[in-house]
Amino acid sequence: MNLMDATFKRLREEKKTALIPFLTVGDPDVETTVDIIRELEEAGADMLELGVPYSDPLADGPVIQRASERALQNRITIRTCLEAADKAREAGVRMPFILFTYYNPVLQMGMETFFAALQEHGISGIIIPDLPVEEAEELGRQAEQADVNLVPLVAPTSDTRIERIVRNARGFIYCVSSLGVTGERASFFEGVEQFIERVKRHTDLPVAVGFGISNGEQVKRFSRICDGVVVGSAIVRQVEEAIPLLDDPSRRKKGLLQIRSFVAQLRA
């Protein structure tokens, strides 16, 4: 059991749903990312997806694509993301970190090096959206040895493959609420709750939902049936809109508070 598992256990005892933000590391810069991580925890985040910016974010909508472009100007790599995690720990942040990366940067780093680095930096989980299912088994084994949870994504179209996808999962199951790319959504398809219930029948692990969730109403709706709710684009947009404040030392605190209050109202 690692910090992520212990956190889900505590939240279940408290009958609370985990609020799981996603942030692109290095947007607008690493120091600001560390400051934002602290604000997110203060605002009630329970664990955090640390996004490794990537040049070809196929599954991402415009908000996160723009964040990746800004972050890539700072040449952010998996290693810089792990260093940012360390800096957040040094700043007193205690929540579990989930490294979110496309598969290519992992292949470039090499599996052994990648998992050794995750272990060294105390990363509790990884999400790799474009990980081929046939490679998930081997990667799951290496993750298990490093005490890192390989969190699988299950899409509404995964139907017959849900069983196979969740079989060697650890940590939690990430139900993708909608088809298409990430990005705030005003509504979700009719059967989204039934889809989540179907996934829950195939696993004893906590089940979280993400994609499109952008306000307190939607968080509340999914908190009724999920152990976790992921919010990415809506928060990344807050970061984007706050950049002029964050870049101005005299208004930086105001920018950070703007992001914090957005996340706090998601929880309310």
Ligand X SMILES: O=P(O)(O)OC[C@@H](O)[C@@H](O)c1c[nH]c2ccccc12
Beta strands in 25-77 (DSSP E): 48-51
Residue among 267, 254, 260 nearest 238 (CA): 260
Q: What pairs with residue 48 in β-bridges?
A: 97
Please give the helix or strand (H or E) that residue 154 lies within, else none.
strand 153-154
CA distance 147 to 143: 6
User: Interacting stretch for ligand X, rule CB under 6 A, among 71-79, 80-88, 160-168, 209-217?
Assistant: 209-217
Which among 49, 184, 227, 240 is annotated as catalytic?
49
Which among 60, 184, 227, 240 is annotated as catalytic?
60
CA distance 126 to 141: 13
Residue with smaller CB distance to ligand X, 56 or 248: 56
Q: Quick check: is 60 catalytic?
A: yes
Q: Is 229 in the site for ligand X (CB under 6 A)?
A: no
Sign of torsion over alpha carbons 164, 208, 47, 98 = positive
Residues 61-90, one symbol each (x = binds ligand X by CB under 6 A, - = not), give ---x--------------------------
Select the residue interacting with ligand X from 60, 68, 140, 173 (CB under 6 A): 60
Residue with smaller CB distance to ligand X, 32 or 233: 233
Residue with smaller CB distance to ligand X, 152 or 232: 232
CA distances from 122 to 12, 21, 86, 96, 233 (A): 23, 18, 9, 8, 25
Q: Which long-range contacts (CB under 8 A, 24 or more apart) does 73-76 make?
A: 74/26, 74/29, 74/30, 76/25, 76/26, 76/30, 76/52
Residue nearest to ligand X (CB): 232
Select the residue interacting with ligand X from 67, 85, 230, 266 (CB under 6 A): 230
Select the residue interacting with ligand X from 96, 140, 228, 232 (CB under 6 A): 232
Catalytic residues: 49, 60
Report the interface residues with ligand X, using CB under 6 A: 22, 49, 51, 59-60, 64, 100, 129, 153, 182-183, 210-213, 230-234
